[in-house]
Structure 1
Amino acid sequence: MTSTHGARPRRVRLWRWRKNPLRRRSDLVEAWLLLATLVLALLIGAFTGVAAAGVVNGAIEDRREHTRPVPAVLVEDAAHALPASVAEDGDGGVWAKVRWSAPDGSTRTGRAEVDTEAKAGSAATVWNDSEGRLVSAPPEGADARFQIVMAGITVAVATGGLVVLGGWLGRSRLRGQRLAEWEAEWQRVEPSWRKRMTG
């Protein structure tokens, strides 16, 4: 004969979906809520993620359409650029003063990233918008794909998380309601139970 002393109770999976005397209406509602939360989190997360990726891709395409590379001339030696001008993007360049011609023919100056060994008078390439203002180069290749994918993932996770949070709040409310029902039932049963125990 095998002793069952200390044995763990067997966990019944999907018990909220099975008919049994202990299942309450709130248990079935909670089961449907959990299922709806999961499905909505996946669907809405995927939809908003794809939409966000499309928006970022469109913004990058718009930048490519409205910016152009422009030849420029370095006004100062890159070695003379202030230490605070060192670029922090890991390319190892410095932000030095350059001069270029705007679409209206006017000469403009500004700071652009150049190689640390560049000398005054050497050629450089800067990016301009449609009005000839200095702008950063639009992302290309792997950098552009990374931005698009990360935007989609971030929005998908954030949106799905909000749906899950809403489901969790709804589940907490159901549990509070169930506890209140149990308390009310105990108040009805407790007097007769106490009589039997003390009689």
Structure 2
Amino acid sequence: MIANTLSRLLRRAFPGHNPLATFGDRIEGAVLALGVVVALLAVPVAASFGSEIYTTHESRVAAEQKSRTQVDAVLVADAPSMDGAASSEALIETTEAVATWRTPDGVEREGVVRAPYGAEAGTTLRIWIELTGEPTEPPMTNQGAASNAIFSALMLWGLVAGSMALLFGLVRFVCMRVRLRWWQLEWELTAPDWTGR
């Protein structure tokens, strides 16, 4: 099955000396071959791009791991219940609630944190804080940096390969329209001889 597909692809890309191959077939074949070559050449480019993204994120990972600390926060009031949430907010599993926490140097802070809907006052949560003591997002991890790099590389390659596929589809569409027009003109010339009209 794969061999048949590859054989068909090669015949389409390189019609060769096929007497039935038209100029449009040769244009389609050239664009198909160009698209495959460009998509293959884009693989190392995308890999290099992903590697650059990972290198950039490595310094961010190191900085965030040093500057962010996880501490216990205690809710000072009940978190809002799911009943009062708007339909768009209900898609998120947490809501804002007021809590207190201590920084690593012992200073007590109070502020708004993310808590589960309906969490009661006194509930202890683990939150991430910056050096200033303000709540923040969890630090990026090496796994997160690698995931971002792989996703970026795949997106770049997909964009290039998709562009080549779109180009081939457009050329094929134009060539098919030209073929159909030529066939129509040829039929108009030969139809009287066949039909007697």
Distance 1:188 1:123, change over 3 A: closer
Shift of 1:165: 1.4
Q: Which residue of 2 aligns with 1:165?
A: 166
Give the structure with higher Rg (CA).
1
Of 36, 39, 43, which aligns to 1:38?
Answer: 36
Query: What percent of counterpart residues are identical?
Result: 17
Say yes or no: does 1:14 pair with 2:11: yes
Query: Given residue 40 of structure 1, which amino acid in structure 2 is its aligned partner?
Result: V
Q: Which residue of 2 aligns with 1:7?
A: none
Q: Which residue of 1 aligns with 2:3?
A: none
Q: Which residue of 2 aligns with 1:25?
A: 23
Shift of 1:81: 3.9
CA contact (8 A) 1:73 1:99 kept: yes
Q: Which residue of 1 aligns with 2:182?
A: 181
CA contact (8 A) 1:76 1:119 kept: yes
Q: Which runs of 5+ in 2 are unaligned?
A: 1-7
Instruction: Tell me the distance in 2 between the aligned counterparts of 1:42 and 1:55.
Output: 21
Q: Which residue of 2 aligns with 1:76?
A: 75
Q: Which residue of 2 aligns with 1:150?
A: 151
Of 90, 95, 112, which aligns to 1:110?
Answer: 112
Cα RMSD (Å): 4.5
Q: Which residue of 1 aligns with 2:129?
A: 127
Shift of 1:73: 5.3
Q: Which runs of 5+ in 1 are unaligned?
A: 1-10
Shift of 1:117: 11
Shift of 1:172: 0.8
Give the TM-score of the pair, scaled to structure 2.
0.61
Distance 1:155 1:83, change over 3 A: farther
Query: Given residue 76 of structure 1, which amino acid in structure 2 is its aligned partner?
Result: L
Shift of 1:135: 1.9
Instruction: Tell me the distance in 2 between the aligned counterparts of 1:83 and 1:24.
Output: 70
Moved more, 153-162 or 45-54: 45-54
Shift of 1:101: 5.3
Instruction: Tell me the distance in 2 between the aligned counterparts of 1:99 and 1:44.
Output: 50
Distance 1:55 1:187, change over 3 A: same
> Which structure carries more helix by proportion?
2
Instruction: Tell me the distance in 2 between the aligned counterparts of 1:23 and 1:81.
Output: 72
CA contact (8 A) 2:79 2:97 kept: yes
CA contact (8 A) 1:49 1:155 kept: no
> How big is each residue's C-alpha offset from its partner over 1:11-50, in whole Å with a ceiling of 9 and x where there is no partner?
8x71652213322222111111111122223433663465
Shift of 1:136: 0.7
Runs in 1 of length 4+ with deviation above 6 angstroms?
A: none
Q: Which residue of 2 aligns with 1:5?
A: none
> How big is each residue's C-alpha offset from its partner over 1:41-98, in whole Å with a ceiling of 9 and x where there is no partner?
34336634652564366246426425612465524269x4444599849xxxx97623
Instruction: Tell me the distance in 2 between the aligned counterparts of 1:95 and 1:60.
Output: 33
Q: How many residues align?
A: 176
